[in-house]
């Protein structure tokens, strides 16, 4: 499988991995500024955007990202992942420490229970499409102060139903808490203070990463969209 990706800029490599139900365009608010200092690689998860449908586990998603880095001859790189992408980043940093120079974890957690909720969402999407869950998802992505969600909703509902469902199943079965203590890379954690997805338990669990610091932003789940300038500055300072 070859993941769809875009490359921009020059400098130390930085891989950008998005959330469930998004494409590489999630990073549109950041890419121009980040590309001034980095070689940016933003990609679509399997079954999202223009990437073919594929695995159902976080490990397999991470190995696909690593295969992309190998294809681009990136021996060592910074990995920035949001939500599902952050889970991929945690797995990579714990299991492939020589490859990850720095880690940026955004709006993410080592686990997101309950498992049954993700399996129910996968079943709903398989039967009715992503449109069936779109209103609820958008309500978690953004605070009520954010009034520009239409284009992001369009991105969400364009996600192929099988690709979305398989990534739901990957999230359902993952628990990365045992891996956190093995992450050697300096880690920046960026969290939205009003994120209904990532709660206080995740904050406590992420503190198990030995070399980490947390930045809080006044945002919900897609903090990079709702607070683009503050988010970009935090990543550039990581």
Per-residue confidence band for 223, with pLDDT thresholds at 50, 70 and 90: very high
Considering just the CA atoms, what is the radius of gyration of the chain in Å? Answer: 16
| Angle at alpha carbon of residue 20, lines to 28 and 203, rounded to 5° | 95
pTM over 0.85: yes
Whether 238 shows a pLDDT value over 90: the answer reads no
Residue 55: predicted pLDDT: 79
d(C-alpha 197, C-alpha 144), whole Å? 15
Residue 97: count other Cβ atoms within 10 Å of its Cβ: 12
CATH of the domain at 116: 3.40.50.1820
* pLDDT tens digits, 142-179: 999 998 999 999 999 999 999 999 999 999 999 999 99
- With a pLDDT cut of 90, the percent of the chain lying above it is 96
Cis before residue 114, ω within 30 degrees of 0?
yes
10: domain range? 5-237
Do strands 13-17 and 5-8 pair parallel, antiparallel, or not at all (unpaired)? unpaired
Residue 56: predicted pLDDT: 85
CA distances from 55 to 1, 48, 49 (A): 10, 12, 15
d(C-alpha 52, C-alpha 44), whole Å? 9
- With tokens 């994120």, the residue in question is 195
Structurally, the chain folds into a number of domains equal to 1
């Amino acid at each position: 499988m070859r993941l769809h990706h875009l490359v921009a800029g020059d400098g130390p490599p930085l891989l950008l991995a998005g959330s469930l139900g998004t494409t590489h365009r999630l990073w549109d608010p950041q890419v121009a500024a980040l590309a001034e200092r980095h070689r940016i690689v933003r990609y679509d998860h399997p079954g999202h955007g223009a990437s073919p449908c594929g695995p159902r586990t976080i490990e397999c998603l991470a190995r696909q990202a690593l295969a992309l880095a190998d294809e681009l001859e990136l021996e060592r790189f910074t990995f920035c992942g949001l939500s599902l992408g952050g889970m991929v980043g945690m797995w990579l940093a714990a299991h492939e420490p020589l490859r990850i120079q720095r880690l940026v974890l955004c709006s993410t957690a080592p686990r997101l229970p309950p498992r049954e909720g993700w399996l129910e969402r996968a079943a709903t999407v398989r039967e009715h499409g992503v449109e069936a869950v779109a209103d609820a998802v958008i309500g978690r992505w953004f605070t009520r102060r954010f009034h520009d969600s239409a284009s992001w909703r369009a991105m969400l509902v364009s996600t192929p139903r099988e690709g979305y469902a398989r990534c739901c199943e990957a999230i359902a079965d993952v628990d990365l808490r045992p891996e956190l203590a093995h992450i050697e890379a300096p880690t920046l954690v960026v969290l939205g203070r009003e994120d209904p997805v990532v709660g206080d338990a995740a904050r406590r669990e992420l503190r198990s990463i030995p070399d980490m610091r947390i930045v809080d932003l006044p945002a919900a789940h897609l903090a990079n969209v709702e607070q683009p300038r503050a988010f970009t500055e935090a990543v550039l300072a990581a």
